[in-house]
Amino acid sequence: MSDPAAPARDRSAGPSSVATHCPYCALQCGTRLDRGDATTDATTDTTTNAAAPVTTTAAVTVTAAVTVRPDPGFPVNRGGLCQKGWTAPALLDTADRLRTPLLRGADGELRPVDWDTALDAVAAALLRLRAAHGPDAVAVFGGGGLTNEKAYLLGKFARVTLGTSQIDYNGRFCMSSAAAAGNAAFGLDRGLPFPVTDLGAADTVLLAGANPAETMPPLMRHLDRADLIVIDPRRTRTAELAALHLQPEPGTDLALALGLLHLTVAGGHADKEYLAARTSGFDDAWRHAAAWWPERVEQVTGVPVAAQREAVALLARASRAYVLTGRGAEQHSKGTDTAAAFVNLALALGLPGREGSGYGCLTGQGNGQGGREHGQKADQLPGYRQITDPAARAHVAAVWGVDPDALPGPGRSAYELLDALGTDGGPRALLVFGANPVVSAPNAGHVTRRLGALDLLVVADFVPSETARIADVVLPVAQWAEEDGTLTNLEGRILRRRRLLDPPPGVRDDLWVLRALAARLGDDPARYPVDAERAFDELRRASRGGPADYSGVSYRRLDAGEALHWPCPETPGRRPAHPGTPRLFLDRFAHPDGRARFAAVEHRPPAERPDERWPLYATTGRVLAQYQSGAQTRRVAELNAAAPEAHVEIHPDTARRAGLEDGDLARITSARGSTRARVRLDPALRTDTVFLPFHFPGTGRANLLTGDALDPRSRMPEFKVSAVRVDRWEEPAP
* pLDDT tens, position by position, 506-548: 999 999 999 999 999 999 999 999 999 999 999 999 999 999 9
Final residue of a domain: which of 361, 380, 398?
A: 361
Residues 150 and 250 in one domain: no
Q: Is residue 8 in some structural domain?
A: yes
Residues 407 and 447 in one domain: yes
Nearest to 509 by CA among 540, 534, 490, 492: 534
pLDDT for 724 = 98
Final residue of a domain: which of 509, 530, 551?
A: 530
Q: Is residue 609 in some structural domain?
A: no
Residues 261 and 406 in one domain: no
Q: What is the CATH number of the domain that holds 720?
A: 2.40.40.20
Residues 379 and 457 in one domain: yes
Residues 203 and 351 in one domain: yes
Alpha-helical runs (H) found in 134-235? 148-156, 176-186, 212-215
Residues 186 and 283 in one domain: yes
Residues 636 and 715 in one domain: yes
Q: Is residue 578 in some structural domain?
A: no
Distance of CA 84 to the CA centre of its chain: 16
Give the 3-state secondary structure of residue 381: strand
| Number of domains the chain is built from | 3
Residues 180 and 159 in one domain: no
pTM for the whole structure: 0.94
3-class secondary structure for 54-103? CEEECCEECCCCEEEEECCCCCCCCCCECHHHHHHHHHHHCCCCCCCCEE
Q: Is residue 327 in some structural domain?
A: yes
Q: Which long-range contacts (CB under 8 A, 24 or more apart) does 512-517 make?
A: 512/3, 512/5, 512/6, 513/119, 513/460, 513/475, 513/477, 514/153, 514/154, 514/157, 515/3, 516/1, 516/3, 516/115, 516/119, 517/119, 517/122, 517/123, 517/157, 517/161
Final residue of a domain: which of 345, 361, 377?
A: 361
Dist. CA 249–CA 237, nearest whole Å: 19
Q: What is the CATH number of the domain that holds 228?
A: 3.40.228.10
Residues 394 and 486 in one domain: yes
Phi, psi angles (nearest 5°) of residue 88: -55, -40
Dist. CA 363–CA 344, nearest whole Å: 20
Q: Is residue 580 in some structural domain?
A: no
Contact 613, 595 (CB under 8 A): no
Residues 158 and 191 in one domain: no
pLDDT for 96 = 96
pLDDT for 574 = 85
Which range of residues forms the domain containing residue 280? 176-361
Q: Is residue 693 in some structural domain?
A: yes
Dist. CA 394–CA 248, nearest whole Å: 48
Q: Are strands 30-35 and 66-70 parallel, antiparallel or unpaired?
A: antiparallel
Low-confidence ranges of the chain (pLDDT < 50): 1-8, 38-64
Contact 17, 34 (CB under 8 A): yes
Instruction: Report the percent of the chain where pLDDT is more than 90.
Output: 91
Q: Is residue 585 in some structural domain?
A: no
Q: Is residue 649 in some structural domain?
A: yes
Dist. CA 329–CA 714, nearest whole Å: 13
Residues 222 and 344 in one domain: yes
Residues 442 and 520 in one domain: yes
Q: What is the CATH number of the domain that holds 478?
A: 3.40.50.740
